Chains A and B, each alone.
Chain A
Amino acid sequence: MFRTKRYIYALLILVVAALIFAACATPEVIEKEVIVTVEVEKEVEVEKEVVVTEIVEVEAEAPPVGRCAPMDAADVEVIKIGVPLPMSAPGAVGGGLAMQYAVNIAVDQLNADGGVLGKPVQPVFYDTASLPERGTAAMEYFITQECVVAVVGEYHSSAGVAEKEVAHKYHIPTVFAETWNDTITGAGYAEVFRIAPASSMVAAADVNYISNLEGIEFVVIVTENTDYGLPAADQTAEALATIGIETEIYSADKGVADYSAIITRIQAGPVPDIVMTLTTGEDSYNFENQAIEAGLMPTADTICIANQVAIQPAFWDAVPGGNYCSFRKVGLVPALANEVTQTFEAEYRKRFDIFPESYALEAYDAMMIMANAIENAGSLDPDAIITALEATDITLAQGRYYFPYGSDNPVPDDEPDWMWHQWPDPAVLFIQYFEEGQSATDAAVIFPEVYQTHDTFLIPFGETP
């Protein structure tokens, strides 16, 4: 026992010493930071000899130690852009890998066309696994180790909310591709842009479509309880309530393969006019297939709105009875699909042989938007890039991108906070199959009215247009 006690005493002394050391060490480092600030000041003075007001600004916004992004393209061999993505559990590995491939396609195209500012672009990937802690690590890594000039990507909001803080701290322009959480742009950071359609926008579009249909009184929404599904379902239900439509929401954990209990429960209640699927990926296939086999949808009484992954040919393997299901597609109409979309799709199919998911399109577009902004900025200076991003006006795979609200045009009071640096109007289409095994390009466009291919908002069950 005696010996043990001596160990404890020794450790205790060490701890106390450590505490003292820690107490002493912290201020020293802060002192160092101050010195660095002074250095920055000097540099600026040399560069911009006359403008005194700017020096004051720099002093106030001196970036923290560690930021090593080049300010001038002439200083570097390659322009590095950080890409945080989920590539291991508990993140959505599928989303991450698809987005990685999409970013690589964008970079290959950029470099084939001579790069940005005459320099090749190089993406730096980092696995964030959907975790906030990994998100912070990713951004610190990009900014202080790889000296990236900008960041694009991310799939999960949970990682995104942490990433935006670091982007703000180091003043690094960032375009989020597929993070839905309102707070990401809602924080109003100068550096943070988002092209993922906020869930309430898509909900508004869904409701807009449903309002065109006749005799709809009761809608059942089956959603996944993730940061995508729950807000989307709530917002859709809210918006439907404003036009007097009743809703019932069923939320399921991801990976629940068997939905039969819930399908039985829906069938025991009043017959829904619409069953809407907000689960994604394999979960949506499982629910749709089981609901169709049980005769819940689509029927003469119940309209089937499948999840957007129904656009894939795999839909017909997984949901053989899915004829007359409609689904939402964010992006351009097939008829109006531009060259960008087609070239990208062709490249993408080389790897996965499926229609690119919306997150793949977003990842591609995010990289292209950032490259375009850097090119327009004419330098790697973050302020110039942000100004260029705010002035974005470019048509890419998902449509025409622009950011209406920014530093020149603050978000008005009647718009939600998250409209800051947010792409406001993703084109939302509704497409409906009317033949078994039909390809998505042959299917009918039923919404919006201007693009309708068969002059109807809904092909009734069992009829051929």
Chain B
Amino acid sequence: MDYITGQFLVNLLMNGILIGLIYGLMALGLTLIFSVLGIVSFAHGEFYMIGGYVVYYLLQAFGNLEPMIAILIAGAVTFVIGVIFELLFLQPMGKGDIERPGEYAILLTFGLAFFLQHVMIGIVGPFPTKVDRFYDFAEIDWGWLRMKAATVWFFDMPISSSRLIATGVAVVLTALMIWFMSKTWTGRGLQAVSQDRQAASVVGINPSHMNTLAFGLGTMLAGMSGAALVTVFAWVPWVGMPASSKSFIIIVLGGMGSMPGALLGGLVLGIVESFGAGLYPDPSKALAYKDAFGLLVFALVLLVKPTGFFGRKL
């Protein structure tokens, strides 16, 4: 236990915050889908996976492509796949044909996840790939802040630069989404549908169009987060499964359907996992239980306050 010092705890907290923002980015799309359609998409991680592969192959084909454009293209690709899926399979739900839409959607998206994952295994093969960090940092040494291409030392605390870029993308995307939802007509329409479908259709918003749009935007966000995170993690066709389960935890923690909640839920999850794995007494099992710490908190929150931190009453 002698390794536990103030510096160690601060490092754990910092790690937790960084990975937490990254988790928040993963969950951003899912929370939009939940708020408008009222469903949880099990295929969320697969869109995330596809987004990463789109960037990988784009950068393979056009080496000097601006990475941010590649991220946008990845978002466009997953948007299109998401919209097609919504139109083909989820439309009857909006029409009220389905008795229990929540369960119907879980099963359907599970089938989709299975389908996408195995198709990708067939196409791209099973071996890990990865994209190098989008930008190299300049070399700086100011004492409290040292920078190298791959790492930033902030008061002697090492921070991966690819993570820093990814968290930057996370914050920007969240801010954009919050702006979009509150300031544009379409965004307000989405919010209106998520609050009261009937009232929204009375004032001239077509809820079924809004469903399609929300699902597409959700999968687009998933694709873009994958596109940003393919620089942080090694990529394989089944990389989406853990991302999905992390996203479920986050949207429940943050309150289903709340955008800032997703980031906060991500932060909580990141910090819990970081401290759990850092402080669990038996080192050989600390990391083996890392996912369990998050799941435990998740289960407790579900039992005590199912609406999460930011969620409205359902």
Contact = CB atoms under 8 A, between A and B. Distances in A.
Interface of A: 88-89, 93-95, 97-98, 225, 248-253, 255-262, 264-265, 267-269, 281-283, 285-286, 289-290, 292-295, 309, 312, 314, 317-318, 320-321, 351-352, 354
Give the interface size class of chain B: 35 or more
Interface string B248-291: 00000000000000000000000001111110000111111011
A282 B12 contact: no
A314 B238 contact: no
A295 B158 contact: yes
Nearest to A295: B158
B125 A265 contact: no
Contacts, number: 141
Contacts of B15: 260-261, 264
Contact of A98 (B3, B126, B242): B126
B239 A282 contact: yes
7 smallest CB-CB distances across A and B, nearest first, come from A94-B126, A282-B128, A261-B277, A282-B234, A252-B287, A318-B130, A285-B234
Contacts of A225: 288
B291 A256 contact: yes
B274 A317 contact: no
B150 A258 contact: no
Nearest to B122: A97
Contacts of B274: 260-261, 264
A352 B128 CA distance: 11
A261 B3 CA distance: 13
Given A251-B287, A261-B12, A262-B277, A312 B242 contact: no
6 contacts: A256-B290, A260-B18, A261-B276, A262-B278, A264-B11, A317-B132
A229 to B, nearest CB: 11
Interface of B: 3-5, 7-8, 11-12, 15-16, 18-19, 118, 121, 125-133, 150-151, 158, 160-162, 233-239, 241-242, 273-278, 283-288, 290-291
B287 A268 contact: no
Contact of B121 (A93, A255, A293): A93
B205 to A, nearest CB: 39
A249 B287 CA distance: 11
A320 B16 CA distance: 24
A265 B278 contact: yes
A116 to B, nearest CB: 29
A309 B278 CA distance: 27
Nearest to A296: B158
Contact of A94 (B18, B162, B236, B291): B236
Contacts of B283: 248-250, 265
Contacts of B11: 264, 267-268
B158 A312 contact: no
B299 to A, nearest CB: 18
Contact of B290 (A252, A264, A267, A314): A252
Contacts of A321: 150
Contacts of B161: 293
B287 A253 contact: yes
Contact of A281 (B4, B128, B241, B284): B128
Nearest to A253: B288
Contact of B132 (A98, A285, A286, A320): A320
Contacts of B127: 94, 98, 281, 312, 314, 352, 354
B128 A318 contact: yes
A46 B19 CA distance: 75
Nearest to A255: B242
